[in-house]
Amino acid sequence: MSTVTTTTRPAPQPRDLLTWVRETPAPACAPGSRGRLAGYVAGSMVAWTVLGVAATAVLGALVGLAG
């Protein structure tokens, strides 16, 4: 009979996430890595847009509940 074991680790704290974001370097614009830089910029634009739309939806729902 096999035993399945799982390890649990604490959920990351917002402070840890912010530190990770601040300390992770952006890719440099070297001659061979323009595609990677373009992907990084496009991905970050999409991520920030999704984050902004989600925050707006949450605030709209809270205003709707209050009103």
pLDDT of residue 20: 80
Note the pLDDT of residue 54. 95
- The string of pLDDT tens digits covering residues 6-63 is 777 777 777 888 888 788 777 677 777 788 888 888 999 999 999 999 999 999 999 9
d(CA 12, CA 18): 10
Is pLDDT at 1 greater than 60 in this prediction?
A: no
> What is the helix (H) or strand (E) element at residue 38, kind and residue range?
helix 34-66
What are the domain boundaries of the chain? 35-67
Higher-confidence residue of 65 and 12: namely 65
For residue 29, what are the contacts with CB-CB under 8 A and spacing of at least 6?
Answer: 37
What pTM does this model have? Answer: 0.54
